Amino acid sequence: LKLVQSYADHLSTPHHILGRPHLNLVMSSVSMSCASVMCTRCRKAGHLAKNCQSLPFLLLQSVAEERVQRQAQRSENEKRFEARQAENEKKCAELECRRAAWEARQATRPRNEADKWESDSARTESTAPSAGFVDEVDSAEVERRASMDKEVRKLAKVLREICKLEKCEHLETL
């Protein structure tokens, strides 16, 4: 009882006498300085529940009615998704049918002269290299250019080692 009496006296004493601000002034300054105010209804920052424009003050539907509405919306979305899937499958089947028909037409169509070059031999008189060209190739030059490649040098070394092993008469068996 004495504690309540002393607290009441404290509240009735002006804050300038006590040397510190009054509790109500402190609380009001804290609420004013808080820049990140959050609405308790829509959970968005920047406004209070009394100023909320996102949600109405009173519920438009009960929680059960909202649940039924969400379930209906979900089932409608699923039906639309299944319809799109069926339409896509139909389009894919049609595309495969057209592709098969095109390939059948391509297989049965007569080849013209432009396509004939793919199946002809490369050793015809018109494409055979001339005799002068063959004489111009120097085997030493070919070996020199081949030895410049790192992979060729590595494989040549492996072949030399294999030849050395083949010449040995007594090899250890693994």
Residue scoring higher pLDDT (88 or 133):
88
Q: What is the pLDDT of residue 33?
A: 46
Alpha-carbon distances of 13 from 1, 17, 19, 81, rounded to whole Å: 19, 7, 11, 71
How far, in Å, CA of 121 to CA of 75, rounded?
64
- Counting residues of the chain whose pLDDT is more than 70, the rounded percentage is 63
Residue ranges in the chain assigned as alpha helix (H): 2-12, 15-18, 23-33, 63-108, 113-119, 131-136, 139-147, 150-167
Confidence of residue 126 (pLDDT cuts 50, 70, 90): low
Average pLDDT, the chain: 77
Which tokens in the block code for residue 65?
């009615």
Residue pair 47/39 in contact by the 8 Å Cβ criterion: yes
Q: What is the pLDDT of residues 80-116, one digit of tens each?
A: 999 999 999 999 999 999 999 999 988 887 766 655 6
DSSP notation for 136-154: H--HHHHHHHHHTSHHHHH
If you average pLDDT over residues 54-83, what whole number do you get?
92
Residue scoring higher pLDDT (147 or 134):
147
Most confidently predicted of 38-47, 66-75, 141-150: 66-75
Q: What is the pLDDT of residue 29?
A: 47
Please name the residue that has the structure tokens 């504690």: 3
Q: Which of 9-13, 74-78, 82-86, 107-111 has the lowest mean pLDDT?
A: 9-13
Q: What is the pLDDT of residue 69?
A: 96
Alpha-carbon distances of 4 from 1, 8, 9, 11, 118, rounded to whole Å: 5, 6, 9, 11, 107
Which tokens in the block code for residue 26?
């402190």
Q: Which of 15-19, 81-85, 118-122, 133-137 has the lowest mean pLDDT?
A: 15-19
Alpha-carbon distances of 49 from 14, 23, 57, 133, rounded to whole Å: 33, 24, 9, 93
How far, in Å, CA of 20 to CA of 14, rounded?
9
Q: What is the pLDDT of residue 144?
A: 79
Please name the residue that has the structure tokens 């424009």: 53
Measured in degrees and rounded to the nearest 5, phi and psi for residue 150 equal -65, -40
